[in-house]
Structure 1
Amino acid sequence: MPAQSPPGEGQPVIGSFGDPEIFRTLDLALRIGELLLSSGAGAADVRAQMDNVAYACGLRGYSVDVTFTELAMSHQSTPEQPALIQIRNVRHREVDYEDLTLVDHLVRDLVVGRIDRDQAATRLNRIVSSGHARPKWAVTLGLGAMGGGVGLVLGGDLVVVLIAFIAVVGVDLLQRRMTRNRIPTFYQQVAGGLLATLLAVGVDAVGLPVARSTVITAGIILLLAGVSFLGAIQDALTGFPLTAGARILEAIIATAGVIGGVSGGLQLARVVGLPLGTLDPGVITYGDVALMGLGGAITAAAYAYSSYAPYRALLPVAVIGAAAVLVYRLMFDRGFGVAWASGVAALVVGLVSFSVAGRARVPALVVVTAAIVPLLPGLSIYRGLALLSDGGSTGLLAMVTAAAIAIALSSGVILGEYIAQPLKREARKLETRLAGPRLVGPLTARASSPTRRRRSRRTSP
């Protein structure tokens, strides 16, 4: 198949029922959508890029449907013919920014006509079948560094940083082993919370002068599912309530598993005669501002590294992560509440990340998600659920606060993307049609104009 021209510039249109070209185009778009969704992209981004792929390959008169576990595309050539429907299930989910970046480049090349559909399918096969150049032990050490960075953000000293490093490494090794045995995620979360708590019990038993709540909080940071709330709120704000609800439910269940593990560890400590006493779950303490900024940089860069982000993106991610923490601390010290401070910090992340991601040649989602991690979005959810499990009005208030923080972080990032995208050079032609925030894939007239989409479908053969 010859290389495609940019959308709307005379590319061949396919549309005859039973034409094998339709099957190949739908299959390519579905496979790309599956990889994007399983790698952490939002439903709006997935649908837009599937739309871009199909349109660039010359297909008209189609529709795209995205849910949390299933992708579907349908095509009807004429009203007299039955619709052709293809469905693809999304089961495997792993944050993989290397594959996300490669697919992002693939879609861009296809849209501008540098490659045709068959070449795109070949590249996609290579992406899916290739392993990672980064070994698993390096990823585990990267996650340990992320735990140490969180220790700095929480105001911990060198001992806390070291303990957090050991705890996160241990939790990651434990989860890898349980994953190989196909144990469900909920039980992995329980086991991780139990391990982190028992480590805190051991630290307390040897008499190390560290805050026990901080040790547990830093140890379970890998398990906290708050990062997924970014995608959930994005889906809710961009018209995908069912997918948003599924993401939120998944995050809450995963966080409940952590609470069960921590609670079990505390009960076990009491039974063996090593009680930790009263703990303040998910407590956040603030130390030196410079150390918090350093911790934010380490946390963001280490998370991006452990998620297989390209090396060229690590330094920008570190700088933005540090800036996010410092903006949050500045706003908090000026008397703004936690939610407003989080929202403003996320707004800065969204404003800066779009341009930085373009220079680093990675999707904005890579920069945004990694830079949000130092703001500990999952910690507020954990604290709210933990206090709610103890009963009383304190838990209910904590859950309301947690929801406000999650919404502030997600909506702040998305608002930043709304403002930043029309300022980018390729988006200036579309500034009168402000697009929904694209965290993955190219911003094209096809993806940003529902009116044009509907008109092209009405005029398709």
Structure 2
Amino acid sequence: MAEQSEVAHTLDLSLRIGEMLLSNGAGAADVTATMHAVAHHLGVRNPIIDVTFTSMSISYQSIEDDVPLVMMRQVKQREIDYEDLTRVDHLVRDLLGNRIDLAEARAAIARLSSSGHHRNRWAVTAGWGAMAAGVALMLGGNPLVCAIAFVAAATIDRLQIYMASYRLPTFYLQVAGGAVATLFAVAAAAAELDVDPSLVVTANIILLLSGIGFMGGLQDALTGFYVTSCARLMEALLSTGGIIAGVSGGLSVGSVLGVSVGQLEPGASDLTTIAVMGLGAAICAAAFAFASYSPKRVMIPIAVVAWVAIMISFSMRELGLGRIWGVAVAAFFIGLVTYSISGRIKVPPLVIVVSAMVPMLPGLSIYRGLALLSEGELIATGLLSLITAASVATALASGVIFGEYVAQPLRREARRMEKRLAGPRLVGPLRTRKRRSGRS
């Protein structure tokens, strides 16, 4: 590097790119690798990068006698924003492809971090409602159940926006969401509508679970970032605890009023049920992607992947392999195909992976466990349901990551690239070294 100011600008660009990736759901390994790639491409060799859950730092010392240059940034807010994630991914690819220079990249990342969304916020609220309606349809709900789930989800979203404006922690937002979902179900039961109100609770539990970072936490653990992994998983557990508190409170209110929401018992499956289940999963996944500001071009591929995945999960369960293995195999399929699909439609694999997994989140098991515990009977069965929910979440994340491990080396092998990979890349360009020629 010729000048100290250029080094400072390079480190600052790397930090800003890393901040946007981490705040929008990227794993610590992907963030670190992307920051390294940007710094190395711009001439900064061997910077020291440290990424944690709430902050990141980068330092560089050109020669041993120089004073090291150290920069830090804090990750102050987190939200699922796949539009920004995709734009940053494209920015990094343009920079590494020499289509833009350092100054243009710094200007672009400044615009990205300060600009809003093109998608209207009420449209996003409608997307969350459509997602909950899709879950209700997937679980066998009739049109009235889907409509109630839609309204409940939209109400939860607007309430959480209002509460967030007062800077309340996420835990309290989750408590409010769980309570609202359950109170809608209690109201439907009290009105004696021709619905299964427990479906409304389940649909909105999945809505609330969709933003929890199980995926990022397990990816960080598998790629060696244990501190960041523990922080992500702690946040996920705390958010889930908020849902538990909210749903339990709502069920208690129903019990005091003498209204029983009831237990959900899935009926016998036939071809019609399978078709409706697949349609509900496709709607749920595509709606989640829409509500998360994903580019419109990914909606159909995500819907197709989610439809196939839910069919795989259902078929595995019908063969007697159990729910956990069915979910794990379906998640493995998602990870296996996502790498190729994301390359064709030019989005990070993370956008497709998380969206396609959402229909399989264990909302039903959580609801059953909470309902049993709130009634004070069959406590062991309730705890077993909650343990099953945790097992399903683990199977989803580990299955997807293993699918990415398999898919990415297979594609590189076809291009005669090296086999070694520290971890599956869900965000950022895949940079590999040229294969060394063997000895003759």
TM-score by length of 1: 0.88
CA RMSD of aligned residues (A): 2.4
2:76 to 66, 69, 91: 91
Per the TM alignment, residue 61 of structure 1 is displaced from its structure 2 partner at its CA by 2.9
Equivalent in the alignment of 2:391:
404
Equivalent in the alignment of 1:455:
none
- Asked if structure 2 preserves the Cα contact closer than 8 Å seen for 1:227 and 1:377, the reply is no
Q: Judging changes above 3 Å, is the alpha-carbon distance between structure 1 residues 217 and 436 closer, same or farther for their aligned structure 2 residues? A: same
- Asked if structure 1 preserves the Cα contact closer than 8 Å seen for 2:89 and 2:428, the reply is yes
Per the TM alignment, residue 378 of structure 1 is displaced from its structure 2 partner at its CA by 5.6
Per the TM alignment, residue 278 of structure 1 is displaced from its structure 2 partner at its CA by 5.4
Q: Distance in 1 between matches of 2:224 and 2:373?
A: 30
Task: Give secondary structure in 2 for the equivalent of 1:438.
Answer: coil
Q: Distance in 2 between matches of 1:72 and 1:383?
A: 44
Equivalent in the alignment of 1:276:
260
- Asked if structure 2 preserves the Cα contact closer than 8 Å seen for 1:421 and 1:437, the reply is yes
Greater Cα shift, 41-50 or 71-80: 71-80
Per the TM alignment, residue 264 of structure 1 is displaced from its structure 2 partner at its CA by 1.6
Per the TM alignment, residue 134 of structure 1 is displaced from its structure 2 partner at its CA by 0.5
- Asked if structure 2 preserves the Cα contact closer than 8 Å seen for 1:224 and 1:379, the reply is no
Q: Mapping of 1:378-389 within 5 angstroms?
A: 380=365
Greater Cα shift, 152-161 or 88-97: 152-161
Per the TM alignment, residue 79 of structure 1 is displaced from its structure 2 partner at its CA by 2.6
Q: Distance in 2 between matches of 1:387 and 1:201?
A: 16
Equivalent in the alignment of 2:381:
394
Q: Judging changes above 3 Å, is the alpha-carbon distance between structure 1 residues 337 and 290 closer, same or farther for their aligned structure 2 residues? A: same
- Asked if structure 1 preserves the Cα contact closer than 8 Å seen for 2:335 and 2:353, the reply is yes
How many aligned positions are there? 431
Q: Judging changes above 3 Å, is the alpha-carbon distance between structure 1 residues 427 and 395 closer, same or farther for their aligned structure 2 residues? A: farther
Q: Distance in 1 between matches of 2:389 and 2:293?
A: 29
Q: Distance in 2 between matches of 1:163 and 1:445?
A: 50
Equivalent in the alignment of 1:432:
419
2:29 to 41, 44, 65: 44
Per the TM alignment, residue 387 of structure 1 is displaced from its structure 2 partner at its CA by 6.0
1:165 equivalenced with 2:165 (yes/no): no
Greater Cα shift, 40-49 or 122-131: 122-131
Equivalent in the alignment of 2:334:
349
Equivalent in the alignment of 1:108:
93
Unmatched 5+ residue regions in structure 1? 1-13, 450-461
Equivalent in the alignment of 1:368:
353
Q: Distance in 2 between matches of 1:332 and 1:174?
A: 37
Q: Distance in 1 between matches of 2:60 and 2:164?
A: 38
Instruction: Supply the AA of the counterpart residue of 2:239.
Output: A
**What does the per-residue CA deviation read over 1:300-346, in whole Å, with 9 as the maximum and x for residues that have no partner?**
10000011110111110111011111111111111111111011000
1:154 to 110, 115, 139: 139
Q: Judging changes above 3 Å, is the alpha-carbon distance between structure 1 residues 290 and 427 closer, same or farther for their aligned structure 2 residues? A: same
Unmatched 5+ residue regions in structure 2? 436-440
- Asked if structure 1 preserves the Cα contact closer than 8 Å seen for 2:361 and 2:392, the reply is no
**What does the per-residue CA deviation read over 1:164-200, in whole Å, with 9 as the maximum and x for residues that have no partner?**
1111011111111111122221111111111111111
**What does the per-residue CA deviation read over 1:33-89, in whole Å, with 9 as the maximum and x for residues that have no partner?**
000011111111111111111111110131111111111111122233333221111
Equivalent in the alignment of 1:414:
401
Equivalent in the alignment of 1:10:
none
Instruction: Supply the AA of the counterpart residue of 1:275.
Output: V
Equivalent in the alignment of 1:315:
300
Equivalent in the alignment of 2:438:
none
1:267 equivalenced with 2:252 (yes/no): yes
- Asked if structure 2 preserves the Cα contact closer than 8 Å seen for 1:168 and 1:220, the reply is no
1:71 equivalenced with 2:56 (yes/no): yes
Task: Give secondary structure in 1 for the equivalent of 2:425.
Answer: coil
Per the TM alignment, residue 220 of structure 1 is displaced from its structure 2 partner at its CA by 3.0
Greater Cα shift, 221-230 or 86-95: 221-230
Q: Distance in 2 between matches of 1:386 and 1:128?
A: 43
Task: Give secondary structure in 1 for the equivalent of 2:209.
Answer: coil
Equivalent in the alignment of 1:185:
170
Instruction: Supply the AA of the counterpart residue of 1:432.
Output: K
Q: Judging changes above 3 Å, is the alpha-carbon distance between structure 1 residues 381 and 445 closer, same or farther for their aligned structure 2 residues? A: farther
Equivalent in the alignment of 1:326:
311
- Asked if structure 2 preserves the Cα contact closer than 8 Å seen for 1:418 and 1:435, the reply is no
- Asked if structure 2 preserves the Cα contact closer than 8 Å seen for 1:309 and 1:366, the reply is yes
Task: Give secondary structure in 2 for the equivalent of 1:201.
Answer: helix
Q: Distance in 2 between matches of 1:344 and 1:237?
A: 18
Equivalent in the alignment of 1:294:
279
- Asked if structure 2 preserves the Cα contact closer than 8 Å seen for 1:144 and 1:169, the reply is yes
Q: Distance in 2 between matches of 1:286 and 1:133?
A: 44
Per the TM alignment, residue 218 of structure 1 is displaced from its structure 2 partner at its CA by 1.4
1:54 equivalenced with 2:39 (yes/no): yes
Per the TM alignment, residue 381 of structure 1 is displaced from its structure 2 partner at its CA by 5.6
**What does the per-residue CA deviation read over 1:364-396, in whole Å, with 9 as the maximum and x for residues that have no partner?**
110111000111246556666776786843344
- Asked if structure 1 preserves the Cα contact closer than 8 Å seen for 2:145 and 2:197, the reply is no
Q: Distance in 1 between matches of 2:386 and 2:153?
A: 25
Q: Judging changes above 3 Å, is the alpha-carbon distance between structure 1 residues 114 and 377 closer, same or farther for their aligned structure 2 residues? A: farther
Percent identity (aligned): 53
Task: Give secondary structure in 2 for the equivalent of 1:220.
Answer: helix
Equivalent in the alignment of 1:26:
11
- Asked if structure 2 preserves the Cα contact closer than 8 Å seen for 1:225 and 1:378, the reply is no
Q: Judging changes above 3 Å, is the alpha-carbon distance between structure 1 residues 405 and 426 closer, same or farther for their aligned structure 2 residues? A: same
Q: Distance in 2 between matches of 1:445 and 1:277?
A: 55
Q: Distance in 1 between matches of 2:95 and 2:118?
A: 25
